[in-house]
Structure 1
Amino acid sequence: MAKNFHTDNKAFMLYKDWEDIFQALDSSEEIGELVMALFAYAKRGETPKLSGGTKIAFLMMRAAIERDGIAWEETCAQRSKCGKKGGRPKKSDESGNTDEKAEQTAASADNAEEKPQGINDTAEKPKAFSQTKRFSEKAKKADKDIDIDKDKDTDIDIDTDKDKDKAIDKEKKKDAGTAESVVRSFGTHKNIMLTSEQYNELESRCRSVGLSLESYISKLSQWLFSKGKHCTDPYRIISGWLDDDSKRKAAAKPKNKQGCDLSWYDDFAMNVDLSKFL
């Protein structure tokens, strides 16, 4: 029966990178609400109703829990498949003979009792010896096959562990990329959610044209709070405002006018010969 990580797995992983997400929340009530939501999803697959920064944080953490759970289910399925392979060796009696060998020995004893007198028993010994040798070789071959099956099972387990390690490394890389774009709350009412990468990009663009990113964030934060609304993509809105204001500022910038230098006229007035005009 296939495993379900919601009901069969007894644990789920909390990553150290999530500390920044918890710290970005406004109050301990939101942190407690987020923790209970994580347990509800990991244990029963439930998705509670959340809002604001708590909802965004839950969606990010839920994706990581789901990836871990799917990897756990695949590992359990592979181990179950490997456990069904391999055979069980035949039982042996106290003398070390297998069941097949014991039956052959008993049959040879019965045939020896039924032989009529006058038959040389010594002549039959080489035959019995060859049969015993053949049976021993079969038993050794069976043991060798069992050892080979065990080696194959061990190789399968090793390959499974390698695949698991690769999956863990892949998840760590994904989590490292997620940590670089941790969502943080900005604005007067802490309702503007931007990643560190988005914030740095907008700040650099504002600085290049002499504008203030904080004024845009405060403006959008106040408007959302007054209207009781939630913005799903504040980066796009602020970026659009910044483009429009940059164009207006470039259009309103006065053009350089040619200056009028009258210093030559002073020299002319002081040295002019007025007799020429009389």
Structure 2
Amino acid sequence: MAKNFHTDNKAFMLYKDWEDIFQALDSSEEIGELVMALFAYAKRGETPKLSGGAKIAFLMMRAAIERDGIAWEETCAQRSECGKKGGRPKKSDESGNTDEKAEQTDTSTDNAEEPKAFSQTKRFSEKAKKADKDIDIDKDKDTDIDTDIDKDKDKDKAIDKEKKKDAGTAESVVRSFGTHKNVMLTSEQYNELESRCRSVGLSLESYISKLSQWLFTKGKHCTDPYRIISGWLDNDSKRKTAAKPKERQGCDLSWYDDFAMNVDLSKFL
């Protein structure tokens, strides 16, 4: 029966870089809810109802638990397949007797008087049997070597797969930004916004600082800061393009700093 990491695996991983996510949560109640949610998913596959920063953190951590669980199931399946491989049966001679029985028959025959020609034929037959046994031993050794090579290849494939999964997860780790560390973005989201801001000459840090200060002052949580900042960036890019004369080639952004620090954030939440 195939293994299921929710019911059969007795442990799951907690990663060191999750410490920043736990510290970004506002209260010990949220941290407790997040920890219990992780146990519920790892043991029974349940997805509890969470809100705010705890919900975002759970979604990211759940992906890592699922990745590790699938890798554990694959490892168990490979070990089960290796355990099913048994030894080869003993070779039988043409009369249907095993090698052991044939040797006993040959031993009892040696005690009787035999013609010289028959004795020579018997010795030739024994040499032929011994040669066949040596060939069988060599074949078994070759089979064992091929099996070891296949196991090494499977192990290398599993390691490469884990490296690819780890690389994909690194892009999805949530990080806290802003003066008060309350703006939660993944590395992929942050890099995308930074690239867009750089292309139009705007500052991503200004957006993050403004949103962080507003959330701290109002005592609120932002469930999707990426959507809000992305919307601001789209609007400001259009305004900047429309307000800037075609013949003007300067990069004076002082007017934008005044606008960014006085915008009403409540309209976007």
TM exceeding 0.5: yes
Q: Which moved more, 1:12-21 or 1:48-57?
A: 12-21
Residue pair 2:207, 2:260 contacting (<8 A) in 1 also: no
Give the aligned length: 267
Contact 1:34 1:58 in 2 (8 A): yes
Q: 1:55 to 1:129 in 2, by over 3 A?
A: farther
1:269/1:167 Cα in 2 relative to 1: closer, same or farther (>3 Å)? closer
- Give CA-to-partner distance per residue, 1:210-240, whole Å, 9 cap, x none: 8675775577689999999986643233223
Report the Cα offset of residue 26 of structure 1.
2.5
> Can you give the 5+ residue segments of structure 2 that lack an aligned partner in the other structure?
none
Alignment CA distance shift 1:134-1:29 (3 Å): farther
Q: Residues 161 and 57 of structure 1: is their aligned pair in 2 closer, same or farther, counting only changes over 3 Å?
A: farther
- TM-score, normalization by structure 1: 0.58
**Shift in alpha-carbon separation, 1:40–1:131, aligned structure 2, 3 A:** farther
Deviations for 1:35-87, whole angstroms, at most 9, x for unmatched residues? 22222222222222222222222222222222222222222222222222222
* 1:96-133 Cα shifts (integer Å, max 9, x gaps): 9977427853995799799xxxxxxxxxxx79996997
Q: Tell me if structure 2 keeps the 8 A contact 1:86–1:146.
A: no
TM-superposed CA distance for 1:2, in Å, is: 1.7
Q: Percent identity?
A: 96
CA distance in 2, matches of 1:180, 1:262: 31
3-state SS of paired residue (1:185): strand
CA contact (8 A) 1:86 1:150 kept: no
When residues 246 and 259 of structure 1 are mapped into structure 2, their CA distance, relative to the original with a 3 A threshold, is closer
Are the equivalent residues in 2 in contact too, given 1:82–1:153 (CA < 8 A)?
no
Larger radius of gyration: 1
Distance in 2 between the 1:158 and 1:183 partners?
Answer: 40
SS of match in other structure, 2:16:
coil
Contact in 2 for aligned 1:21/1:57 (Cα 8 Å): yes
Q: Could you tell me whether the CA contact under 8 Å between 1:224 and 1:231 is conserved in 2?
A: yes
In structure 1, distance between residues paired with 2:267 and 2:69: 106
Listed as ranges, the matches of 1:15-34 within 5 Å are: 15-34=15-34
Task: Please say which of residues 243-252 and 180-189 is displaced more in the overlay.
Answer: 180-189
Deviates more, 1:203-212 or 1:223-232: 223-232
Residue number in structure 1 paired with 2:137: 148
